[in-house]
């Protein structure tokens, strides 16, 4: 009986891991080590290769916006299967460089699929997982992102020895295999709530949710420089060479593997609020040290810490949504908006950092300092909201009375470590 229950829990989690591995881990991060090969093989001009890389980020934003409407039309399970097939088709299509427009369109489609999957995967899997294990489960789901980052440094180089077309076809074959393995592991769809739309009492959105949207956006801005420029910083900026840069990227990938599950366990143990605070402090310090540390040992250690952040912050933010919003359909809405916030700032930050990098003559350290500042802003936003609430206790009495009424109701998912005033939760 226990084995049957365990399999019912872990099969959907496995499907979620496969989805995040295919749509984000491989579709986005496997492109990074392919950039030099694409330029060297003269498939496209150097400027076009960077432009094509941005297509995935733009698509991610579009997919984050379309994910929930698509699920309402097709159902979560069908939508997730189709998005994984779309990424697989994009890999196979990219083996044939017919034109820049052709390549851009398929890279855009893979980004759209990634954004839609990020919005839907947790909402599809986590309702079938017991509440005390959801932090660990969400970490396991988004472990796929970390595996993709690590895999981009280990799978792609051997494939490149066979040529660029074979590399794209190999990635497509791996994506197809993962899609097939997860096809029947998805859980049944929960019914979409209809009666709630006609409810006489509209539940107000807690201010803490808007705070999370803003924090999540600045987290996205803070993670981009290391994610994009770390290898180039080590190889060219510090003059350590491509080999050392590749080793540091492997360490970044190891951190990405450890991050999701570690952060998920952290949320289960201490609550998402305190965990987010701790992680932001550590990341801000790490980015600051990255700008001044030049030894390989220090860079490797910092890379592990930084690598844990992009995939690890996802289960933390998701856990915070579940702390703040108890109802499942409202959690889906909040998580979708959080993903859109993250995707928007990530895309904007990608273009902004690239422009600043060119304007500064390739000054990597400046980018890392700005990223540390963005993480610091995310950390300080919470304190700013606390101060604002204390400074204006009589503002918006209608909302306050509604929040007071809601506070009197029993909270089915209380935060275990939240010293914030009731207004923020």
Q: Tell me the two tokens of residue 265.
A: 């366990």
- Measured CA to CA, the distance from residue 281 to residue 125 in angstroms comes to 30
Q: Which pTM was predicted? A: 0.74
User: Sorting pLDDT into bands at 50, 70 and 90, what band is 87?
Assistant: very high
**Domain boundaries defined on the chain:** 7-184, 205-392
Contact 251, 153 (CB under 8 A): no
Torsions phi, psi for 294 (to 5 deg) = -125, -10
Over 50: is that where the pLDDT of 423 sits? Answer: no
Give me the DSSP letters along 331-389.
HHHHHHHHHHHHHHHHHHHHHHHHHHHHHTTS-HHHHHHHHHHHHHHHHHHHHHHHHHH
Q: What is the pLDDT of residue 7?
A: 55
* Coil/strand/helix, residue 325: coil
Q: What is the pLDDT of residue 197?
A: 46
User: Sorting pLDDT into bands at 50, 70 and 90, what band is 406?
Assistant: very low
Over 70: is that where the pLDDT of 11 sits? Answer: yes
- Measured CA to CA, the distance from residue 350 to residue 52 in angstroms comes to 13
Q: What is the pLDDT of residue 390?
A: 67
Contact 175, 87 (CB under 8 A): yes
Instruction: Please state, in angstroms and as integers, the Cα–Cα distance from residue 348 to each residue in 133, 140, 218, 373, following that order.
Output: 35, 29, 11, 16
Q: What topology does CATH give the domain 7-184?
A: Growth Hormone; Chain: A; (1.20.1250)
Contact 13, 141 (CB under 8 A): yes
Contact 139, 198 (CB under 8 A): no
User: Sorting pLDDT into bands at 50, 70 and 90, what band is 280?
Assistant: very high
User: Sorting pLDDT into bands at 50, 70 and 90, what band is 163?
Assistant: confident
Q: What is the pLDDT of residue 152?
A: 75
Q: What is the pLDDT of residue 408?
A: 37
- Measured CA to CA, the distance from residue 352 to residue 296 in angstroms comes to 28
Q: What is the pLDDT of residue 203?
A: 67
Lowest mean pLDDT among 194-198, 278-282, 371-375: 194-198
Q: Give a three-class secondary structure readout of 242-255.
A: HHHHHHHHHHHHHH
Q: Tell me the two tokens of residue 176.
A: 């197809």
In this prediction, residues 192-215 reach a mean pLDDT of 66
Q: What is the pLDDT of residue 422?
A: 40
Q: pLDDT for 121-157, tens place per residue?
A: 888 887 777 776 777 777 788 788 888 888 777 787 7
Those residues whose C-beta lies under 8 Å from the C-beta of residue 350, and which sit 6 or more positions away, are: 54, 57, 224, 228
The DSSP call for residue 44 is: S
In this predicted model, which residue has the larger pLDDT, 201 or 407? Answer: 201
Q: What is the pLDDT of residue 385?
A: 78
Q: What is the pLDDT of residue 199?
A: 44
Q: What is the pLDDT of residue 196?
A: 44
Over 60: is that where the pLDDT of 120 sits? Answer: yes
Of residues 258, 244, 247, 226, the one with CA closest to residue 29: 226
Give me the DSSP letters along 182-204.
HTTTSPPPPPPP-GGGG-SSPPP
In this predicted model, which residue has the larger pLDDT, 34 or 317? Answer: 317
Of residues 131, 111, 170, 106, the one with CA closest to residue 350: 111
Those residues whose C-beta lies under 8 Å from the C-beta of residue 239, and which sit 6 or more positions away, are: none
- Measured CA to CA, the distance from residue 397 to residue 393 in angstroms comes to 9
Q: pLDDT for 295-347, tens place per residue?
A: 889 999 999 999 988 888 888 888 888 888 877 778 778 877 888 888 888 88
User: Sorting pLDDT into bands at 50, 70 and 90, what band is 191?
Assistant: low
Q: What is the pLDDT of residue 185?
A: 82
In this predicted model, which residue has the larger pLDDT, 124 or 180? Answer: 180
In this prediction, residues 150-176 reach a mean pLDDT of 86
Domain covering 205-392 in this structure, CATH number: 1.20.1250.20
In this predicted model, which residue has the larger pLDDT, 213 or 362? Answer: 213
Which segments of 99-163 does DSSP mark as H helices, in order?
100-125, 134-154, 156-160
User: Sorting pLDDT into bands at 50, 70 and 90, what band is 415?
Assistant: very low
With residue 237 as reference, give the H or E element that holds it: none
Report how many helices (DSSP H) and strands (DSSP E) the chain contains, helices first: 16, 0
Burial status of residue 406 (CB atoms within 10 A of its CB: 0-12, 13-18, 19 or more) = middle
Q: pLDDT for 43-80, tens place per residue?
A: 877 677 767 777 888 888 888 888 888 888 888 889 99
Over 60: is that where the pLDDT of 399 sits? Answer: no
Contact 186, 81 (CB under 8 A): yes
Over 70: is that where the pLDDT of 394 sits? Answer: no
Q: pLDDT for 341-383, tens place per residue?
A: 888 888 888 778 877 887 888 788 899 999 999 999 998 988 8
Contact 67, 336 (CB under 8 A): yes
In this prediction, residues 401-423 reach a mean pLDDT of 40
Does the fold of domain 205-392 match that of domain 7-184?
yes
Over 60: is that where the pLDDT of 421 sits? Answer: no
Q: What is the pLDDT of residue 402?
A: 38
Q: pLDDT for 218-247, tens place per residue?
A: 998 998 888 877 877 887 788 887 678 778
For the chain, what is the mean pLDDT?
79
Over 90: is that where the pLDDT of 81 sits? Answer: yes
Which segments of 28-75 does DSSP mark as H helices, in order?
35-40, 46-74
∠ Cα 18 21 379 (to 5°)? 120
């Amino acid at each position: 009986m226990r084995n049957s229950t365990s399999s019912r829990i872990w099969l959907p989690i496995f499907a979620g891991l496969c989805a995040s591995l295919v749509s984000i881990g491989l579709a986005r991060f496997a492109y990074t080590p392919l950039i030099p090969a694409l330029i060297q093989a003269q498939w496209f001009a150097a400027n076009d290769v960077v432009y094509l890389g941005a297509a995935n980020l733009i698509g991610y934003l579009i997919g984050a916006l379309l994910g929930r409407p698509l699920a309402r039309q097709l159902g979560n399970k069908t939508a997730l299967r189709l998005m994984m097939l779309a990424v697989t088709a994009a890999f196979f299509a990219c083996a044939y460089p017919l034109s820049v427009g052709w390549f851009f369109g398929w890279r855009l489609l893979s980004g759209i699929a990634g954004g839609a999957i990020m919005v839907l995967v947790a909402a599809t899997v986590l309702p079938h997982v017991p509440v005390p294990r959801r932090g660990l489960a969400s970490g396991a789901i988004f472990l796929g992102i970390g595996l993709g980052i690590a895999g981009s440094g280990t799978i792609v180089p051997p494939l490149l020895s066979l040529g660029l077309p074979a590399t794209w076809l190999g990635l497509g074959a791996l994506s197809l295999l993962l899609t097939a393995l997860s096809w029947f592991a998805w859980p049944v769809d929960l019914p979409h709530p209809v009666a709630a739309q006609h409810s006489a009492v509209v539940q107000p959105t807690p201010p803490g949710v808007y705070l999370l949207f803003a924090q999540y956006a600045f987290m996205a801005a803070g993670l981009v420089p290391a994610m994009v420029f770390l290898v180039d910083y080590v190889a060219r900026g510090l003059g350590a060479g491509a080999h050392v840069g590749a080793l540091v990227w492997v360490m970044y990938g190891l951190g990405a593997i450890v991050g999701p599950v570690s952060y998920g366990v952290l949320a289960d143990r201490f609550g998402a609020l305190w965990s987010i605070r701790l992680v932001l402090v550590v990341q801000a310090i790490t980015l600051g040290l990255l700008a001044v540390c030049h030894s390989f040992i220090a860079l490797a250690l910092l890379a592990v810490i930084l690598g844990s952040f992009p995939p690890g912050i996802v289960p933390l933010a998701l856990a915070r949504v579940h702390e703040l919003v108890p109802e499942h359909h409202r959690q889906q809405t909040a998580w979708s908006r959080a993903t859109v916030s993250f995707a928007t700032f990530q895309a904007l930050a990608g273009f902004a950092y690239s422009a600043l990098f060119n304007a500064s003559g390739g000054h990597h350290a400046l980018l890392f300092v700005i990223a540390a500042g963005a993480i610091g802003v995310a950390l300080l936003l919470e304190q700013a909201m606390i101060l604002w609430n204390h400074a204006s206790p009589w503002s918006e009495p209608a909302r306050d009375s509604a929040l007071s009424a809601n506070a009197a109701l029993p909270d089915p998912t209380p935060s275990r470590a939240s010293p914030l005033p009731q207004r923020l939760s």
